[in-house]
Structures are given as C-alpha cells and as structure tokens.
Amino acid sequence: MRYLIKTFLLTAGLILSDTAHSEDGYRLWLRYDEIEDQVLLDHYTAYIKGYLFEGNSALIRSSENEMKAGLTGLLGRNIKEVKGLRGSGIVVAGTPGNSAIIRSLKLDSRLSGLGSEGYYITNARIKNKKIIVITANSDQGVLYGTF
C-alpha cells in the first residue's frame, strides 16, 4: 500500500510540475530568450547586422535556421540573411571548401586538429570589414559551432 501511495504522489507531482511549466525538449536544451542586460544587448545589436551561410547541404541549412532562431530570440529582432559582405557586422559560416571568404582567411592551421566535429569561431577583417567567422572542417562542425 505504501508503494502505491508513493507512486501516486510521485506521478501526480510530475504531472503537476509539467503542467505548471510545460516546454518541449528543444527549448529545454536551447533557450533563446532575449538578453536582459541592456548594455550587452545594445552591444550585440550594434555589432551583428546579418549572417551569411555558404554551402548548400542540409546541415548548412539547419545551421542557418538555428542562427536565425538564436539571434532573433537573443536580440529580440530579426537579423537578415545577406548575400555578400557589404559592411561590417556579418556572421559568416561555412567551411574552407564551400566558402571563398573563409578560404581567403587561411585558417588551415587552426582547423587541422579539430577533426570532423570541431569548430573554430573568430573575429576577422576582410577589406576593412569586421566579421565573425564560424568555420570547421565539415558542415557538421559548422552546425555545432552555430549552437
């Protein structure tokens, strides 16, 4: 009898706690709530103007979707996909194999020990434009770097 009571109480507690604060598994893992620190939010908003993902694989498209969701949630506004480097503040993502921009940065020595799942994030300057680079040896690495 004690076992049944404990089981009932545990089950009821789990159901009630889930009802009180229900979220899907995705949101439990990746929560992109708007940044509350106004100084930090202003800094990021001033710096990040758009994103450019180079490559056409399903993993690159997933990376791009994740970046859009993350930036929109964290910054509280839509960040646009751009088609080229027309100014500073662009997040450029891809591999040296699918991005001429990333290839031009000659990051081979940084990528050499990362394997297929590792990634490298850095600031760079191309033709006097400040950018953020997310790169890897594989599209899977780019996806991981985007998170």
Nearest Cα to Cα of residue 54 among 137, 135, 145: 135
Q: Is 103 left (phi over 0), alpha (psi -120 to 50) or beta?
A: alpha
Give pLDDT tens digits for 49-97.
999 999 989 998 988 889 898 888 888 989 899 998 888 999 999 999 9
Q: Is the dihedral of CA 122, 142, 66, 147 positive or negative?
A: negative
Beta bridge partners of 81: 51
Q: What is the pLDDT of residues 96-116, one digit of tens each?
A: 999 999 999 999 999 999 988
Q: Determine the pLDDT at residue 135.
A: 94
The tokens for 37 are 């620190």
pTM: 0.77
Q: Give the CATH fold of the 28-146 domain.
A: Chitobiase; domain 2 (3.30.379)
pLDDT > 90: percent of the chain: 42
Q: Is 10 a residue whose pLDDT tops 60?
A: no
Q: Give the percent of the chain with pLDDT over 70.
A: 79
- Provide mean pLDDT across the span 20-35: 58
Asked whether the predicted pLDDT for residue 1 surpasses 80, the reply is no
Residues 11-25: what's their mean pLDDT?
52
Domain extents in the chain: 28-146
